[in-house]
Amino acid sequence: MNDIIFYAIVIAVKILVVLGVTLGLGAYLTWYERKFAGHLQVRRGPTVVGPFGLLQPLADGIKLMTKAPILPRGIDTTLYYLAIMMALIPAVMLFAVVPFGPSFKFMGHEIKPIVADLNIAILYVFAMGSMAAYGTLFAGWASNSKYAFIGSLRKAALIVSYEVVLGFAALSVILLAGSMNVFDIVNAQIRSGIWYIVYQPVSFILFLFCMLAESGRVPFDIQEAEAELVTGYNVEYGGMKFGIFPLAEWYLNTLGLCVIASVLYLGGWSGPHIFGSFSGYIWLLAKSFGLLFFVIWVHWTLPRYQAKDVVEFAWKYLLPISIVNLVFTAFLVYFKV
């Protein structure tokens, strides 16, 4: 009985920590991105609110929340509000299968720093990645606006097509590790001493492409180009109702996929033990933020693809490449080269 209570408390603590960290970090990533984009374009980014503009996310949040709530005419009210949650919840749920470090002993019990240690964690990541399409689709439809609706259809088509490529790209890593469990994947990399990015460079690059596309980042974001199309599908949303969409998609989704990418290709928490018992966590965070840095760098540097090219690029180029890569990997694994 004691064990059950102990594990219930442990799981509750894990969920609270993950929720707090991801949502807090999600808000502060807006500061990080603005600061970074500013320096990239020889500006200074936010400087006024707090030291180095550190309180800017709070100011933004208060501004968004105190805006007048405007509802467009003829909307489907239930779905209009439900779509916000449909966008946010999959992005948060993605962090349920993120391993933040190696397992450790606490009061005689082995504890893994992950909310749900699923056998099929990678499948779950694919599922949650595409569940975001519902938020987009229903947001576009419920807004009762052709503009938002066409944007949402484009974006949903894009998410679905890149999800297929993402699946095939990650499958080759699953083949190498022989498991879909994130702990097994990282342990397999630690045991062999080589990160899978060395064995699977093609798959890693495909994964990066899909990561950019799924989280609506440049160069695959023509369907929600802020400057030209005022972000398409969520154009009828205002205030914090609008704020949730970029938070979920640009920050939480990107961060989640970055952590998963560093688990799959960059050896997760492996690295020299130079920070004591916290080194695993610090290495994982460093790798994930390195990838995040790359995503934001690309976002503020490159121009966009045309709308007709984005989905075609996925089906006609990325998918065949990923299938060839997968078959090749399967041969190598089967003949134990």
Partner 1 sequence: MEFLAFSIIALISVASAFGTILVKNPIHVMVWFLVFILGVSASFFALQADLLAGLQLVIYAVAIVVFYVLVITTIPWEKIKMFDGFYKKEFFTAIPAFLLIIGSVFYLVFKSKLSTMRVSLPKDNVSALGGALFTKYIVPFELASFILLIAMIGAIIFGKEKANG
Chain positions contacting partner 1, by CB under 8 A: 4, 76, 78-79, 82, 118-120, 123-124, 126-127, 130-131, 133-134, 137-138, 140-141, 149, 153, 156-157, 160, 163, 167, 179-180
Taking the least distance from each CB to partner 1, the nearer of 235 and 284 is 235
Q: Rounded to 10 degrees, what is the CA torsion of 263, 269, 272, 275?
A: 150
Minimal CA–CA distance to 180: which of 108, 239, 264, 243?
264
Report in angstroms how near the CB of residue 294 gets to partner 1 at its nearest: 27
Decide whether 41 or 119 has the Cβ nearer to partner 1: 119
Contact 284, 259 (CB under 8 A): yes
Comparing CB distances to partner 1, the nearer of 111 and 175 is: 175
Smallest distance from the beta carbon of 222 to partner 1, in angstroms?
19
Tokens for 225?
Answer: 């180009």
* Least distance (Å) between residue 291 CB and partner 1: 24
Distance CA(267)–CA(80), nearest Å, equals 41
The answer to whether 172 touches 203, Cβ cutoff 8 Å, is yes
What is the rounded radius of gyration, in angstroms, for the C-alpha atoms of the chain?
Answer: 21
Closer CB to partner 1, 54 or 131, in the complex: 131
For the chain, helix (H) and strand (E) counts, in that order, are: 14, 2
Q: Which is nearer to partner 1, 54 or 127 (CB)?
A: 127
Q: Residue 29 Cβ, how far from partner 1 at the closest point, in Å?
A: 26
The minimum distance between CB 126 and partner 1, in angstroms, equals 6
48: helix, strand or coil: coil
The least CB distance from residue 83 to partner 1, in Å, is 10
**CB nearer to partner 1: pick between 76 and 309:** 76
DSSP conformational letter for 276: G
